[in-house]
Amino acid sequence: MLMFKAFATLVCLGIAVPAWAQMTPVGLWKSVDDKTGEPKSEIRITEQGGELSGRVEKLLRPGADAAARCTACTDERKDQPMVGLEIIRGAKKAEGKEVWEGGKILDPESGKSYTLRLTPTDSGAKLDVRGSIGPFGRTQTWVRVQ
């Protein structure tokens, strides 16, 4: 009986830990176009030193130019290739919450940067990405690829 309880505990931990580990923005995400609802790109979010960074890994729109550049960007990302472009910078985990904030997100189509808030939802399968300027903003829901 003791052996069964130990096995059952290990199985429960094996199931709970991966689900808990996914409640983070770190991973590969599919962004969706606000207007069409179609997949737009894949964004890989990584963490280094407690800060998140996100780069465009792949363009998904039909007919998207793999050599496209960020012509609307106004900082050091101006004219940089879209694939590999860093669009998320500096978000940190809020103390005691499953929310990452304080960073910036770049809209490469307009060249504008917005204050960022990332909130994993649906057991980590989705990510609410909110970009805002003051009280005004919008939220996109990205879907986890990995």
Q: How far is CA 8 from the centre of its chain?
A: 34
What pLDDT is recorded for position 63?
A: 86
For the chain, 146 residues long, the average pLDDT of each consecutive 10-residue run is: 43 43 89 88 96 97 89 95 97 94 94 96 96 92 94
What pLDDT is recorded for position 31?
A: 95
What pLDDT is recorded for position 101?
A: 95
How many C-beta atoms lie closer than 10 Å to residue 13's C-beta?
A: 10
What pLDDT is recorded for position 3?
A: 44
What pLDDT is recorded for position 11?
A: 40
What pLDDT is recorded for position 15?
A: 44
What pLDDT is recorded for position 56?
A: 97
What pLDDT is recorded for position 33?
A: 85
What pLDDT is recorded for position 12?
A: 44
Domains of the chain and any CATH numbers: 24-144 (2.40.128.520)
DSSP one-letter code for 94: P
Contact 90, 52 (CB under 8 A): yes
What pLDDT is recorded for position 4?
A: 40
What pLDDT is recorded for position 126?
A: 96
Angle made by CA atoms 101, 139, 44, in degrees to the nearest 5: 65
State the DSSP H helix or E strand holding residue 5, giving kind and residue range, or none if neither: helix 2-21
CB-count burial class (<10 Å; 0-12, 13-18, 19+) for 16: exposed
pTM: 0.83
What pLDDT is recorded for position 20?
A: 42
